[in-house]
Structure 1
Amino acid sequence: MFNSRLMTSYFPVLKSRASEDWKTMSAEKNTKQRSLSLKRPLTPKKQIIQSKQDTPPKVTEKSESVQEVVDLISDSEDEGTPPKRQNVTLPREAPVYIEDEEDLDLFRTPKTRDSPQVSQNTTQSSDDFKQTVSPVNLSSQSAESIVCNVSPSDMIWVSPKTPSKSPKTPSKSPSTPSSRPKYFSPTKKRSITKKSPVKRKLSLPFSSSQGSSSENKPDDKTFFLLDIVQKFLGTESLKCLLDEESQTLLNHFVFLENVGMRLVCRLYWYQHRWYNADEVVKITVVDDLQEIIKSLVDCGFIILSKSEGKSIMELDEYLKILKKPVIDEICKKLKIKITNKKSAIESLKSFCKQAPISNFFTKEKTTNRTRVMDLLQSTAGICYKLSDLARTTLNSLYVLMYLGMDFNIIREKKLELMLLHDKTKAETFPVSKDMVVDNASVVFQDKDEFYRYLQAYRLYEDYVIKSDENDANESCAAIIRQAYKLYQEIDDKQMQRYQSLPVWLRRYTAALAYIKIMADGVQVLKRLNSDEHLFAIEILDLLISQTKFRTHKKALWYVEKSLILQRYLKNCEKSARVLIEGFESDMPEQLKDALRPRARLLANQKNIELDETLRDDLRRWAATHEILEASLPCAHIKKQPMDNLNMRGKLKFKEHTPNGKAILSVENACLLHYISNGDFTHGEHWEGSIAVTIFTLLFFDIIYTPPRGVTGVFLTPYQRYPLDMFCESFYTNRKEAIDERLRFIEEGTLEDVLEMMKKCWDERPESELSDIRRKSQGMEWESVSQVTSCLSPRGAAALCGRLARNYAYCHSGFPDLTLWNIHTNKVKFLEVKSDSDKPSIKQLQWLQYLLDNGIDAGFCYVGAKTTRCKARASDPDNLP
């Protein structure tokens, strides 16, 4: 039943509660409106600093006429209760940063200005405000709610935290093909992408202040040139090797300003062509270009494009230095339509050959060349080039002062790079800089002899360049005939002078340069007609008859002569007699081994007319001291190689390795086979690197110390080897020291040998250019010491003895693989061959020498048909 009395008492209570709810809602609405008013305008982006539990404060920036609100909400207060406000205007100062720390001060007020702004409601200073607002501990559970009025200019800016790692730049999609051209590298046996030229940093200012700071001291490249000029002028024995003009020019060079020296040095190493004023300024920063150029012209270092008012430059030289926009502008003036620079050059050359329309009226026979040359001359301005005298003088100076160094470095213009690498210890040389070395005066006795050497080697360079070109056999043949003629023109006095030099210094004679051209040219003459074949025989007769130059090649010359007589001139009898003549000569027996395969082939060939007596003589000489491949131990590994459709490069084998399937070379497939069988614990494809490394470690001091009483072994500190290293004189010049060291190694203990090797390994820098292989070349000390331990001192002495007695011949041909077992101290050297490979004479000699000295060695044939070759041992079970 409805109770009206209860209803009468209930409605006042309900009304009272509704009134309270309405007041609360009004307060929330006002607060919400105030918050919305604070959020306008929406741009720029605002920031709000709000403290939450267990989270660092977040600071947000506001735009103009916006107040900053800091709410510290307490759990003990109702959410609808309006917070108590304190209006404070912060002074305008430098930005304040809030750090993320455990105890965080909300505000670090900067130093107050002289006239700080204070709001009307509060005159409290910043210091008072800091006392009122205590630091907030983020770990506490309660906080106060504070609202601060902050003017837009007094914002607290928060610097964003710099990330510890920079964001990665998105890389180019790997599927996108490269637009740069590629070329096939015969050395690396793969396609190489051509490197883009390094762009000059145009952002760097080229001001006169920068140039003036570097003018006080020459740069490294200029210093290198200045150093050898001063050494040359200070050595009387060298000054007589250059003519008077060159000496005068070098005397002027010393007194040039540093900027002038730098310009001469750059022009020499740069491309030999004309340079305009803008390019000269780019080469070297100079305040007064005309003054520097005038001094260089007066001294004879530089020539100008204008001489007596006329230009000495040709059309091609102008077109080479002008950029495409300039050439386009010239073509536009001449009303020539073009598409690119190449077409523009061709159009200009064609336009020069055409007759102008004025010839129709003047009846003259002229062309447009004069008009074009005038345009090019006015556009390019005065150009500069290094004079021929300066270039010839500097070239002769570099050859003279760096004699003994690899000449390819100078020819390829890598000398400055080499010197910089040596200075920065990136690539050093084993010759001590403190050691007193000889100079070129021990080789050349006068300037005529030196200039004859330069002339001969310029001819050799021309031959090398021509031989690399396609269809250049006729050009090479002309150079070969010229070298043959010049060699015969050498008089007896000059030849006696050349022959009186030590063997290792004869390389710096004109006679040797001509012999190198003729010896290399035999292969070119074989590709030409029969007249050239007869000329090749004449050259080989000359080479065989002389006994002072490149005698280690004499066996190969006999073989070539025999081959040409049989194959090209169809004279088998003379071919056989040439081989017999070689066997009967005084050549060393190891050189005669190169004649034996040819003699056996000629004696057993049935389709030629050859006397039986000559056949028997050839068989007898071929069987003497012959090393047969079938007589050496071998192993056969049956594996099917991958398809080689291109028929280029070595065979590859697909193998299962612990890391999965892999494609391996024939050497690595053999290596995997032996390691997997457990016969050996380690193995590497080092070839001769291990032998020369052990030899160099044990004989380093003997190699790089000048022998007593011998001159001309070291001519410059920038030598990788002593000059007699690759001739028989290396052993004869150091016979006593080498024999004593070999006795010490053979009779000493393993600990003494390893200690000597370890000392040299640690003392020599890793960047040194010697025969000590390092980690970058796949060899570490641990491996070297283990192989030496397995060899024993006696084996190491045998290995080093053959290299020391004839390093030039024996440093190549060593077996491919080195296998060793650290538990059993067993070591093996294997020469790996595929189905169609044949060993060289040097490889057979090395295997026989190792076996004769008790060192395990042999062949390993890998392939599907390893027994097809008759020269091999056919028994697959004949394991080494």
Structure 2
Amino acid sequence: MRQTELSEFFRVTGSSGSIKREMKRKHGHLTPKSTNKFQIKVTPKKTDSPSKMDNKRPSNLSLSQVQKKLRLDSEDSENDSINLTQPYAPMDFDLEKIYHEKHFDIEFGSVVMSMCEEVKRLKPSENKHVQQLFSAFYNTLSMPINCAYFTVEELNVLRLMMGLSDDAKILLARLLKWKESWYRVKKISGMIEVNFTSASFQELVDKGIFDCDYETDQMSVVLDLLLVDELKSICKRMKVPHTTRKPKMILELLKIDGKKKSMFAGMKAPSAALKKVIEETVGSCVRVSVQTWSLIKRLLTLLYPIQASDKSLTDVFRILNEVFYEQRVYPDLPEERFPIFRNRQCLMEYVEAKTTLIKITDAIVKKNWDLIRDLGQLAFNKLEPAFKSQTKLDVPSHVRRFDATYVWGKVVWSSVDAFKKEKVEGIATATKFLKALIANKNIIQGKIGRWYGELAMIEMSHNKDLEASVALTKKALTEERLSPVDVAEMLDRARKLVARKAGISSQSKELMKQLIKDREEEFVVVPQEVTVFGIRMDSEFTTGTKSVWRVKNEASTELMSVEMVAMKHYKTDGYNCAVHCEGKLPVTIFAALLWDEIYGISIPGAFVCPYQTAPLDLFGSQFYLNRREAIDKKFSYYEQLDVDSLSEIMYENFITYREYFSLMSNNLVEDGQDFKDIVTCLGVKAVVGITKMMAKNYSQWSAGFPDLIVWNSGKKKCRVVEVKGPGDSLSVKQKLWIKNLMELGVKTEVCLVKAN
């Protein structure tokens, strides 16, 4: 669905009173009614209705966009559920055939099409959270290809959600943005700042959307709902220590929970007594049911399958909100969509794997090594059947990223560092994991060079098996297709092996020396160096790992970063303009030169949703090959232009497209003229050459570009500068960029900032 269609969903005309009718719906036959009834004492707020909350809107949002509730039109059919007797099953797409033929055209049945039509009758809500949730419904379920991944029963549950009362929709929308857990009913209204009646909670429970029976969950989960003072009170009543921290009190109460037998006849067991006290304290609780979470996660995965592992579902809703308010405007993308999951089961497996990847990413940030190891082992267990069957999904690499095995492989790889912290068993497990990843590289696409490098390091430094490290280094350099960065790192490993005095045979040393000799010339770079002096401030002035420097002017003294020290030097050297650009510059040049080829060419599976900053094949090896004819034609045309004509074209593209949420940076320079001057100073050969590098291997060349570009537009001269402070050295990617820029005729140098 194009971005404009999202706006169509919210574009409503008519007076504020044109739709003011309530629909009474009976959905009880679709899901079993809960036997649990709430006993909630909540006094309804007499002022504003809950449906009026969060109705603040930016000045550019018309009243007509928010004046109508999110509910189905009155002309809906009387029978809201899909006929369960209809012969229907979720689709099973032949992905290999579809992507081999590069064609997808299928007719969907009445069950799917009726769902698509019904969701298109949704209307906007005054509540922003409801609006975000049901815009996700609209954008996902209005496309038949997405509806085809759900069963009839699941589609009916989604219809139930669309038919909820206004207050129930608010409750659902808000709790879906919170973590998956139990919440105390008496606390929810305070957290949302709205008083809900028990009817709203009961409606969600009766329809199976919420759970209320928290007794079925682990006691530790329930105890975590209690405040510290409440825990102390319970500990006093149960006669256990109550002057410690919350985790310790919970541990003491869990010991009581483990005592299931009564000490005397006629007395309650300690666990039963504890349970009663907790029930009295906690009161009624609810959570979004497991089944509801499963549906919502799948729905949002279909809507936004490119969700990063460090982003939550709340981030997905935030993106939808920013799109609606036009704070994010994505490029116009090809409308053609191809299936990326074979069937419902594959979608569910992918969601499970992606959820685990999100968990392990969060655990790495929090340094929860035990959890990381547990998740890594879980992922490895999930992969073992694929290892045994050797089944590979034969689709383009950018589509294989949506196969669960690919994601499980990322989880396994992410866990290796945690296992290395356990010196014996952990090292053995890390070794096993890496060997399995390498042996099954055709099944699990991933960072093959990193796998080899890590395993070679473990064999050398932890297992003390230098010959095994030699064998891995040789195999990686002679048999595998590695990136230049991976090659350089493996050559560094070879040099370390050669430097060892014991544990390695002379034959193996000679082999490593020969490999170094054969490949090291690719990475030899001798850039020009210039040295600048300054006064380095003490550590209390530093920000993170960045050093702070003091530079004296004629009238004052300034504190600045190492890059600013270098810029000041080049300004005195005749370069009156400078930008701290790093990777933003080559990426923006690439986008400005090849915008139509990046965003205008439809490649099967490259665009899977309207919220993409780039086609997915850009991050693999097929981007250029998939567009070779169009890109080569564009390069041939640009290479014939003079620099003024080229800079004018790129200037027009830059000012036209910079406001899109895309690859192009909108804060690289202050205005388009600066970008035009940079292109002019670099020249045609350099600009086209940089773009060729990016087009053929974006993943490698999108990082490592030098820190600065300094220029003088009047003299049409520029320099590209990598700035290094004390103790800093060039990375492999930086060396490769400097080498290639020098070959393109760009004056490139390293500025060494040293302390006086």
Whether the aligned pair in 1 keeps the contact of 2:50 and 2:167 (CA below 8 Å) is: no
Distance 1:694 1:577 in 2: 42
CA apart distance, 1:314: 7.6
Q: Match for 1:253 among 153, 161, 176? A: 161
Relative to structure 1, the CA distance from residue 584 to residue 407 in structure 2 (aligned partners, 3 Å threshold; closer, same or farther) is: closer
CA apart distance, 1:229: 3.2
SS class of match (1:829): strand
Q: Match for 1:567 among 455, 461, 465? A: 461
Distance 1:617 1:703 in 2: 44
Whether the aligned pair in 2 keeps the contact of 1:228 and 1:401 (CA below 8 Å) is: yes
CA apart distance, 1:489: 0.8
The residue aligned with 1:159 is none
Whether the aligned pair in 1 keeps the contact of 2:45 and 2:195 (CA below 8 Å) is: no
Distance 2:217 2:735 in 1: 61
Whether the aligned pair in 2 keeps the contact of 1:276 and 1:380 (CA below 8 Å) is: no
Whether the aligned pair in 2 keeps the contact of 1:682 and 1:819 (CA below 8 Å) is: yes
The residue aligned with 2:353 is 456
Whether the aligned pair in 2 keeps the contact of 1:747 and 1:794 (CA below 8 Å) is: no
Listed one character per residue, the Cα deviations across residues 777-829 of structure 1 (whole Å, up to 9, x for unaligned) are 55432321111110122221111111111111111111111111223211111
The residue aligned with 1:541 is 435
The residue aligned with 2:743 is 852
Give the TM-score, by structure 2 length.
Answer: 0.75
Q: Match for 1:489 among 385, 407, 410? A: 385
Q: Are 1:771 and 2:673 an aligned pair?
A: no
CA apart distance, 1:732: 0.9
Whether the aligned pair in 2 keeps the contact of 1:429 and 1:720 (CA below 8 Å) is: yes
2:157 is aligned with what amino acid? L
SS class of match (2:291): helix
Whether the aligned pair in 2 keeps the contact of 1:467 and 1:473 (CA below 8 Å) is: yes
Point out the more displaced range, 808-817 or 576-585: 576-585
The residue aligned with 1:788 is 679
Distance 2:737 2:284 in 1: 65
Relative to structure 1, the CA distance from residue 363 to residue 513 in structure 2 (aligned partners, 3 Å threshold; closer, same or farther) is: same
Q: Are 1:391 and 2:293 an aligned pair?
A: yes
CA apart distance, 1:679: 3.3
SS class of match (1:265): helix
2:728 is aligned with what amino acid? D
CA apart distance, 1:737: 1.6
The residue aligned with 1:466 is 363
Q: Are 1:428 and 2:329 an aligned pair?
A: yes
The residue aligned with 1:401 is 303
Listed one character per residue, the Cα deviations across residues 212-251 of structure 1 (whole Å, up to 9, x for unaligned) are 9875752343234334435555544333423454333113
CA apart distance, 1:273: 1.7
SS class of match (2:447): helix
Q: Are 1:750 and 2:643 an aligned pair?
A: yes
Distance 1:783 1:364 in 2: 86
Whether the aligned pair in 2 keeps the contact of 1:530 and 1:568 (CA below 8 Å) is: no
The residue aligned with 1:504 is 398
Distance 1:573 1:215 in 2: 71
Relative to structure 1, the CA distance from residue 339 to residue 833 in structure 2 (aligned partners, 3 Å threshold; closer, same or farther) is: same
Distance 2:490 2:365 in 1: 29
The residue aligned with 1:809 is 700
Q: Are 1:694 and 2:589 an aligned pair?
A: yes
The residue aligned with 1:183 is none
SS class of match (2:655): helix
The residue aligned with 2:48 is 206
Distance 1:524 1:344 in 2: 26
1:753 is aligned with what amino acid? L
Relative to structure 1, the CA distance from residue 572 to residue 646 in structure 2 (aligned partners, 3 Å threshold; closer, same or farther) is: farther
The residue aligned with 1:797 is 688
The residue aligned with 1:719 is 612
The residue aligned with 1:298 is 206
1:573 is aligned with what amino acid? E
Listed one character per residue, the Cα deviations across residues 453-505 of structure 1 (whole Å, up to 9, x for unaligned) are 222223333333333344x4444334333322321212777823x2x121111
Q: Are 1:275 and 2:184 an aligned pair?
A: yes
SS class of match (2:314): coil
Relative to structure 1, the CA distance from residue 532 to residue 747 in structure 2 (aligned partners, 3 Å threshold; closer, same or farther) is: same
Unaligned runs of 5+ in 2: 1-43, 56-66, 71-123
Q: Are 1:444 and 2:341 an aligned pair?
A: yes
CA apart distance, 1:760: 2.3
SS class of match (1:428): coil
Q: Are 1:623 and 2:509 an aligned pair?
A: no
The residue aligned with 1:266 is 174
Distance 1:559 1:322 in 2: 48
The residue aligned with 1:611 is 505
Point out the more displaced range, 343-352 or 745-754: 343-352
Question: Which one has more relative contact order, counting CA pairs under 8 Å at least 6 apart?
Answer: 2
Q: Specify the structure having the higher radius of gyration (Cα).
A: 1
1:389 is aligned with what amino acid? Q
SS class of match (2:450): helix
Relative to structure 1, the CA distance from residue 814 to residue 372 in structure 2 (aligned partners, 3 Å threshold; closer, same or farther) is: same
CA apart distance, 1:427: 2.5
Distance 1:347 1:560 in 2: 39
Point out the more displaced range, 511-520 or 473-482: 473-482
Distance 2:548 2:506 in 1: 45
Listed one character per residue, the Cα deviations across residues 117-153 of structure 1 (whole Å, up to 9, x for unaligned) are xxxxxxxxxxxxxxxxxxxxxxxxxxxxxxxxxxxxx
Distance 1:538 1:368 in 2: 46
Give the TM-score, by structure 1 length.
Answer: 0.65
The residue aligned with 1:598 is 493
Whether the aligned pair in 2 keeps the contact of 1:694 and 1:784 (CA below 8 Å) is: no
CA apart distance, 1:614: 2.8
Distance 1:536 1:388 in 2: 33
CA apart distance, 1:727: 0.8
1:135-174 aligned at under 5 Å gives the runs none
1:451 is aligned with what amino acid? M
CA apart distance, 1:723: 1.0
Relative to structure 1, the CA distance from residue 791 to residue 281 in structure 2 (aligned partners, 3 Å threshold; closer, same or farther) is: closer
CA apart distance, 1:545: 3.3
Listed one character per residue, the Cα deviations across residues 832-865 of structure 1 (whole Å, up to 9, x for unaligned) are 2233222111111111111111111122222259
CA apart distance, 1:259: 3.0
CA apart distance, 1:713: 0.9
Whether the aligned pair in 2 keeps the contact of 1:686 and 1:817 (CA below 8 Å) is: yes
SS class of match (1:706): coil
Relative to structure 1, the CA distance from residue 559 to residue 231 in structure 2 (aligned partners, 3 Å threshold; closer, same or farther) is: closer
Q: Match for 1:842 among 695, 715, 733? A: 733
SS class of match (1:855): coil
Distance 1:343 1:542 in 2: 39
CA apart distance, 1:351: 12
Let me know the Cα RMSD of the aligned residues: 4.0
Give the aligned length.
641
Distance 2:273 2:320 in 1: 48
SS class of match (2:568): helix
Distance 2:134 2:220 in 1: 34
CA apart distance, 1:687: 1.2
Unaligned runs of 5+ in 1: 1-201, 866-880
SS class of match (2:594): helix
The residue aligned with 1:104 is none
The residue aligned with 2:320 is 419
CA apart distance, 1:696: 1.2
SS class of match (2:550): strand
CA apart distance, 1:422: 1.4
Point out the more displaced range, 626-635 or 567-576: 626-635
1:525 is aligned with what amino acid? F
